[in-house]
Structure 1
Amino acid sequence: MWLFSCVRAAQVSFAQVIHCSWVKIWLILKISGSKSIKVQIQRRRTLENVILRQQLQQARDELERRVEEHAAELSRAKALSEHEIAEREAAVEEVKESRRQVLDILESITDAFLALDTSWRFTYVNRNAAKFLGKKKEQLLFRYIWDVFPEAFGSTFSREFERAVEQKVPVMFEEFYPPLNKWFEVHAYPYKSGLTIYFRDVTVRKKIEKQHEQLLSQVKQQHRHAEKLAKEAKQRSSELEAIFNALADPVIIYDAEGVLVRANPAAVKAYGLDPVHAGRKAMARSMRVRFSDGRAAGEEELASSRALRGEHVIGERFIYSDATGKDVIAEVSSTPIVYDDKVVGVVSIWHDVTVREQLLGQVERQRQNARELAIAFERERDTLETIMENTNAQIAYLDAQFNFVLVNSAYEKGSGHARAELIGRNHFELFPNAENEAIFRRVRDTGERVEFKAKPFEFVDQPWRGATYWDWTLTPIKDTPGHVIGLVLSLVDVTDSIRARQLSDALNSINAEINSTLDFSEIMTRVVIDSAKNMGSEGGVVLLREVDRWVVGYTYGFPPEITGTKLTDDEARHATVAASTGKPVAVDDTSNDERVNRKVMEKYGTRSILTVPLIVRHDVIGALCFCYRSSSISFTETQIDFANKLATSVSLSLENARLYAAERNIADTLQEALLILPEQVDGVVFGHLYRSATEAAKVGGDFYDIFELEHDRVGIIIGDVSGKGLEAAALTSIVKNTIKAHAYEGGTPALIMAKANDLVAKTSPADIFVTVFFGILDTKTGKLTYCSAGHPPALIKRSTGHVDALGTQSPVIGAFTMINYASGKVILETGDVLVLYTDGIIEARCNREFFGEKRLVEAVKALRPTSPQEMPGALFNEVMHCTGGKLSDDIALLCVSLDRGVTV
């Protein structure tokens, strides 16, 4: 070990030492030659010891040398460390001082500075950063930045900070922070321990930039506008130049001295002078201008001279000589050109009215002739108006632009507009209709007469009138050359006859609807809506009579909150009158009729009302009211007759509903009695469920029962009687009680079923039959003896999960007498459940197919673990899920198992 230690100290490998020794040993052996092996070994060991001692001495010397060198190095290092420590302490102080200076600088700068660690927590916040962020330093330091400013998370702030940290690159951006309503310029620099952020509030700069942009935009817009104006001015100048040159009337422009400076081609042609070569001579002197009375006009009296003095001369008549020397009558208009409140020129326009003056004479003569013709026309017009006023047709004469020229009183009344509102107005402004306008244009353009029968029309400005129907003709009036100059429109209102037919059809439809249900509420709801729509009324109300009050029961077109409102006889005066007389009450104007309470009518905005009593067995049970709010209307005999007949139909339907309700109440009571099961039966656990297909068909033929028999036996019944209602419920009671009675007497299920069949077949109609399953369960042995008379096969869900269907079947009961029935037997084990059901389960419609026995077996098999009490509800939910919540037949379910505390 000591050798090994020395070798290590000398930093010489042991392998080196061994290698060297064996070399020398090998030399000695070579020299010794023939000496014995023993002597050789002794000598080898001696030589080896000598060599080892020499090498160890060398190693010790080397080790001592290195120790001395190391000690010297340690001494030097100590001296250096003391110096370095002093330097480091000085450096630390410098760093601290620098840090204080940096912090002072950071606190004194006007911009904001903060630092975040790698966990996004504040490690430093200067004074301005806290100020800008609206927080105190202690509210920020060591807090998670996104907790303090959650609105910034996911924004440009968080995205840019994360990019700086992930990519190790500085980022710079500007962003608006809504919570502080400020813009920030942000510089972020990543470092090993986090992120330093320098930012400043640039909101003012941003606002100035925005204002600058807005100003720049305004300047650009103004510049574009100025360019546009300049372009338009240039265009207008060109247009004015073209107009100036194209005017047929002479136009002359004078300067402020009255010297002609420009004339249009018409002026050059009329005066025979070229203004460019006129030597600035006043043309007026060469035109021999005179007044209309022939007196010569002095230069100062000319229109142009007066305009130079600021006067506007319009249409003043002068006579002048044209280039040919011919006298021309002209109307002269001269207007001063004003600039900076000074007249700098004059524009004169000379309009030749010579021909017009000649024509005026002719016109005057023709006017006299026209007066004479007008007198003759007035006589003919009076004759035409007399004819028009004495016809039942509504007649209007229109010009070629379809403006009213003449209407008779019948048209005035039928249009809903006074004659003064019609004359001069366009037909299609008052009565817009694209189809009719196209017809009018075709007649005007082709000159061909058209005729229509019962053509519908709706008055846009009179919506309360609803659809109206008209027989009408449109006849063109032509002048001598054959041009259409007007149209005669002849109308006959056939609305009453059309509506009578429509209301008759509507009454048949409503009768069919209300006769399709026996529910009082549904009848009244349908009646008030459908009848009000067909009557074209804006509101409908059914008032129900309760003791000495009228109660708002059903409404259409009124706020729902008025339902249930009670009215006194005086408040519902119209209903009271209808009830006392037994006749309809038609009030055309509620503001002036004592048969209504005006305050009530005003409250609900009713201007016309038709009320008919609802009478059942000579007793008034209510009243049906039709209300019109837009305007007052005059009720027709057709409307009153419709309402009266409707009230009779409704009264009969309500009586039928009352009788049905009484019958259903009896049947419901009987049905409930037939479906009541005992709370418990010794030896078995059971669950049951019954659901009717609809509320109206609530009384069905499905039934079930479970009851105790002697000797630990239990009777189980489920069945389905064909038909609904009271008759089915009565037969159900007979079948159920017959089977129970015979079961108490004893006998097999088959024998009991045969007895029940004979009784039902003899006492029930031929078209009535019953499907029944009856079983007797021995609760001790689990033996079930049963008879299934045409009933869907019962199922047994075994505790293993397997489902068995009971196969023994017999005919239905009630169809024929003297029929043999068969009994089947099966064992119910502990945990097995007997599942009984009616055909409403398997015949439920799932889209286009039945729910079926196969789907039922799968549903029963899938129920685990489920107790007999829970199984009926679970199976019913499966059926409803498949059918979308709809049933086509009643459903009855009865599940039974032995009471041994086991569920499957």
Structure 2
Amino acid sequence: MASDVTTERLEAVPLGEPATTLPGAPSVEEACQLLLAGIPDFALLTLDAEGRIVSWNPAAERLFGYRADEILGKSFVMLFTSEDVRQGRPARELNLAAQTGLALDENWLVRKDGSRFWASGWTTVLRAPEGTVRGFVKIVRDLTERVQFEAERERLLAAEQRLRAEAEEVRARITTILESITDAFFALDREWRFTYINRAAERLLARSRERLLGRVVWEEFPEAVGSRFQREYERAIRERTPVHFVEFYPPLDTWFEVRAYPTPDGLAVYFQDVSERLTTEARLRARERQHAAVAELGQEALAGEALDRLMQHAAELVASTLDVELTEILERLPDGRNLLLRAGVGWRPGLIGRAKVDAGRHSMGGYTLLSDRPVVSEDLSKETRFEPSYLVREHGAVSGISVLLQARGEPWGVLGAFSRRPRRFTEDDLHFLQSMANVLSMAIERRRNEEEREGLVARLAEERRFLEAALRQMPAGVAIAQAPSGRLIVGNEQLQQIWRQSLFPAESIADYGKWHGFHPDGHPYTAEEWPLARSLTTGEVVTGEEIEILRGDGTRGWVVASSAPIRREDGQIVAAIVTFVDITERKREAETHRFLAEATAILAASLEFRETLRDLAWSAVPFMADWCFVDLVEDDGSITRLVVAYSDPARAALAERLQRSYVVTPESAVGAIEVARTGEPLLLVEPTDATLAQLAPTEEHLQVLRELKIRSLMSVPLYARGRVIGVLTFATSESNRVYEERDLALAQELARRAALALDNARLYEETEAARRRLAFLARASQSLVGTIEYEATLRTVGLLAVGEMADWCVIYLLDQTGHVQQVSVTASSADREALAREIVERYPVDPTTDRG
């Protein structure tokens, strides 16, 4: 092979046999000229044997930018890139054409202005008749646009594949989240067909996703046609607005809380089974009523209420508490065959006390006796266990519940309740009927964004906005943390409202240690013990964990925390979600009932009222106050402070100073004396220093009050028999609690109970004192009647007086002239009697003078 072509000269290429030419054919030069003129889209140039350009068509001029006079005679090497020239490409191209007759090529060429273009063409050899190389013909076509198009196509294809992969990954993460959340979710298209269903929805709807996908919701759930579900879904689509409602679906026997959101493709629906929550809420409300009913009935029973009246009141309480129209108390008659309607509500006049029902299977009460257990019937008309009594049928009862009434372990009768509406009685209702006291306790929501067809990236952004909106609208506080670090990435406004502070930033699980929560025994939660941390680190699903928290404003509250891990399809935890539901009010009501019950027990435990009031004051801290004062009103109207109770033992010295410095008189015009005088309660929500100065009777007392740092204060009177007999005062300091009207109402209720107990104690003391006086007089009368001797009578009177009224007794007897005739001395001991006689002899009594 010959050496490479250079910019100076091309080496000769060995030639093959000379080509033959037909007679009359055009010469090579003529053929080249014809080619040059006839190919407008191809640059055609001829080269001599050394690679110099000898012809140049108009297409070549347009493509390369050189005029013919600028390029002719120059080496075609100048059309190649410097890289190709260094690598010998021009020479190899001519060598290949000379050896094979044709050289195909695709490579970059250079224009006059230095720009490059992608050229495609071929080079062929021109030979003389004797076979020697006369030159070459090179044809070039610009394929830059096609190459650029192919490159752009490849780039776009790669970008599309990358975006699809990213979108699939995002879709997988979102699907993982939707499959991990506890909320059920499904999506519908505009034809009401299912397009997506998560596992929670499969479980709640009792249908597999394979069965539902592609099916019309109204065909799969025909019972929902015309229901609130259909109306609300259609309204969401029609008005393009989110809808939220709670509705019962009879075929699944479930209450659902539903949040539906219109999407570009149809409807996204989040829903939860809230049957348990609604039942729990109803139980909580019912439990409050049941506790009150039991307490009321118990007080009447302790007071000795007549049995008939007590039973009738019990029937009324059951009717109002269970919200039923009919109640009955049936007594089993001695014959054992019939039950007598002793008391009840809702029956026709004249039936109570007279009507009888069968004590066997011809009445629900009789069946209750036979079965020896509670009986519940949701539909009396379909009962096969027994036949409802004529009384129940005549009064339109539909559902019923009954329990045994027992006396000394034997069946006495039956307590029953009936509803004219279909009714499902709960276990709590059973417990209430049997003991008049039981009840139990409570949701979240979530949202997902529907995939948009306009583009994968746009759909991802929409889904994120969808999720954020769902979090904002949830009634519970919600936070999502990233695994494994624990960094909080999402939190809604309700979270801050519940905690009264922001939980952000939290970059790691260790930062959870800044949250203040307490176990039931009072010790604080560590960072790793929070439900969110446990779900992140161990995958634990935490449901309904009650936690006492210290909120950002310094007050305490209660939350129910639930958390769950969010897993990928391979099971790896990628995040965790936690919800906080504020149950502070419910816990406070329960604690209030418990406190009142304990206070009532304290008040009933003793008739020694002073000690009882001390115990009551100490029981009020710290539940009601950090400080509790009890003041008694004396007969002259003055105030005596009985006790100062405090929650912090370290404040004992301060309490002693407070007690010592508290001195008031009837002339005082503020504080406890004012409450005692007017009988009106006092509530100082946040007293100022000037207010404290008015309350303090002395400067020393004011200084102590300042040291207490009182945040809030209230005083309530103790009323008994139409007058104020004392004052209860409650104050907060270190707990930072601020009193409200409901706190004042609780204090007044406590004062009412305390005053009643105090009055009973005082009545008891007065009665005992009167009884002792009467007993003394009876003994004295009996002793005096039993003797007629003069000396013995004096001695008896002295002994009675010394035993009951004094340590010694001296009796002076006067004669008719008014002078002392005889003196009788009696004492509790011989020494005292000797001392008394000595005093009498040393200081004799003379009735005629003012001595003695």
TM-score between both structures, scaled by the size of structure 1:
0.31
Give the structure with higher Rg (CA): 1
| TM-score normalised to structure 2 length | 0.32
